[in-house]
Structure 1
């Protein structure tokens, strides 16, 4: 009986090429696995493609709701944004995909897992760190680091040599990654950061600002302990919530960014990212935190958010530090419940009011009208004590400057 290998399968040229290559170079039984995190129509016809390419079977694993609840929402609650722009759309999907690949490897008694990530990219790190954390005994095969195929044309030639019919032509498209949370675009003219991208031919989820409606639209989101539970009064699960917000946000050109980022492997790369629904959720969640978190907790959480984002980006999801940061975040979210109203207009998100039963905002204190809870005279003593270090330093400098 042949040993088995689990292949992370997307149905594209790379993973189609990998199937005969694995059989030729390792004599493995190839079991293809596609983890559905919201790729949409990309999954159509996948089983026929995998079997005809030489795989013995294909698993399609729908994990969209788990993706949202256990990966997307925790990252959002942490306020994690990589390099001040990127909402980690590809990054947060990789640990779940790798975790499910490990599941099928153990289920099938496979000796190895194979992925099609390149030797220049982030995904090889994300996949392999997760696999190492969960199943260190499994062999990992990364063809792009070891095979002789150097280009798309080489891959097509290899497939044709092994009698695998393709309807793929010379590559004239962007390199894209799509899931429920976002779409990323890389390659072609985007590799030159001096060139303005033609968003009208790039974007798939979103309108350009020019094509967005000329009238604003309001959305109302209700949160419970940091989790969005209702959109415009309607209760939705995670999958449906993000799908609906993507449609609304995409219509109004929300959440399109152009970023030159620092990859894990040390180089910079440029990409255009669409995260319409996610951008709305992040903003609404932040509005509630402004209402409900005290000054010190909010300040410290901002620092933590940067580290959390770096861990997610680098594929360090299943690590003690990420889990410890998660525990802190969960504590802060106990009070993050309430309703946020936002106005969307041509790429902009404008706050339109927020309420929470846990709000720390007190109108009687904040009002310019003097109330019982605050006496203006109290400020004088506070300022004197708060400024004491400045006073001492100024007196010292005056004494040193005396003749």
Structure 2
């Protein structure tokens, strides 16, 4: 049996690599994607092969991640439950897609992941896998307690020691972390009590507010059809642009949230997130839309946001309903081209200016100081027609 294993080289996936060989006599092909997690990936292939993998793929998919997943999602202004910019959620379909690509190329019958049976990631990985390869076998060891009887890290260390597999285990962190170029998440451990404030030294992608720059900084972002293409006039590739905004946001402590969200599996989960560049982009994109999107198109697209965000959060990236919504969203972005100026200061993103060759904003029309081709007397009939049902209702109440 050939199995493609989602592999990071840490304790959990080292155990999975060894366990798959024992349990299934499997030929294990390890896979790790570089989605901007800033972890040391050098030597990962050598480590996997040393521990019994027949092959190891280490992909740099950062530009694909930004261009084909993050930015299309941002065209939708997707925010889950009003606060979460979906940083972890949007990385999972790409990782799972690449695992299926490798399974097809290598003739593997199964994929394996280390996601737990309580979380969202198991759903995201597997929905993508089944959407792209309906006959794939999925091995999820944490849902197999009889075959995978580990209760904690020390059980895993002992398991590897008994088999002579070396591992370096640091002291357990007081929370779990997951990072990519869009964000970093912190969950579990001390954060499981929603009353506990996160430690000041926990933050990775943003400076603490107490250390944020004392001077405000102006940043200009250029968009073409809703996709960011330049920062301060400098054209940048998809990944490079987001990293540039991450660095700027870091200096000003931009993009932190502390929320309790509703998992797809039914339980509530407290998560602390940093999304510096994404927070800047979301504010700028929204500001540009305000001057170059038709009102009814904007309102209709906005009505899609809760559903679209839910689909991304729950793992339905490759579902037909998400693709249908995406087509409509892309159409809505045809004129979302222009520049936005924002001011970053002490955790805030403040929009200071916006311009577009497709601007629908007319200073003459809206001005208090000139008519601008607008006949104010037209408003009388407009108001009376809209008030008609209210007047009929009020009359009925008065007579009854």
TM-score range, shorter chain: over 0.9
The aligned residue for residue 193 of structure 1 is 194
Once the 2 structures are TM-superposed, how far is the Cα of residue 173 of structure 1 from its aligned partner?
4.2
Aligned: 1:286 with 2:286: yes
Give the match for residue 249 of structure 1: 249
1:62 offset after TM fit, Å? Answer: 1.1
2:177 alignment partner in structure 1: 176
Q: How far has the Cα of 1:42 moved from its partner?
A: 3.4
Structure-2 residue corresponding to 1:390: 390
Contact 1:122 1:264 in 2 (8 A): yes
Could you list the per-position Cα deviations for residues 204-230 of structure 1 after superposition, in whole angstroms to 9, with x for gaps in the alignment? 110111110111000000101001111
Does the 8 Å contact 1:292/1:335 carry over to 2? yes
Runs ≥4 in structure 1, deviation > 3 angstroms?
A: none
Range 44-53 or range 250-259, more displaced: 44-53
1:88 equivalent among 79, 82, 86: 86
In 1: Cα distance, 2:58 partner to 2:174 partner: 26
Q: Would the aligned equivalents of 2:114 and 2:140 in 1 still touch at CA under 8 Å? A: yes
In structure 1, distance between residues paired with 2:39 and 2:266:
33
- How many Å separate the matches in 2 of 1:137 and 1:167? 37
Which residue pairs with 2:374 in the alignment? 374
How far apart, CA to CA, are the structure 2 residues paired with 1:376 and 1:339? Answer: 32
Hey, what's the Cα distance between the residues in 1 that align with 2:398 and 2:2? 80
Name which of 41, 45, 49 aligns with 1:51. Answer: 49
Give the Cα separation in 2 of the matches to 1:174 and 1:190: 7
**Paired position in structure 2 for 1:18:** 16
Contact 2:174/2:190 (CA < 8 Å) preserved in 1?
no
Q: Which runs of 5 or more residues in structure 1 are unaligned?
A: none
Matches within 5 A, 1:53-68: 53-68=51-66
Q: Is the 8 A contact 2:175 2:190 kept in 1?
A: no
Q: CA deviation at 1:293?
A: 1.4
TM-score, normalising length from structure 2?
0.97
RMSD of aligned C-alpha atoms? 1.0
SS at match of 1:40: coil
Give TM-score, length-normalised by structure 1. 0.97
Q: 2:255, 2:276 within 8 Å by CA — same for their partners in 1?
A: yes
**Matches of 1:154 and 1:132, distance apart in 2:** 32
What's the CA shift for 1:248? 0.3
- Asked if residue 203 in structure 1 is aligned to residue 203 in structure 2, the reply is yes
Query: What SS class does the counterpart of residue 43 from structure 1 fall into?
Result: coil
Deviations 1:216-263 (A, max 9, x none): 000000101001111000000111001110000011000010011111
Q: Give unpaired runs (5+ residues) of structure 2.
A: none
DSSP 3-state at the match of 1:156: helix
- Which of residues 14, 25, 38 in structure 2 aligns to 1:27? 25
Q: Counterparts of 1:1-400 in structure 2 under 5 Å?
A: 3-146=1-144, 147-198=148-199, 200-400=200-400
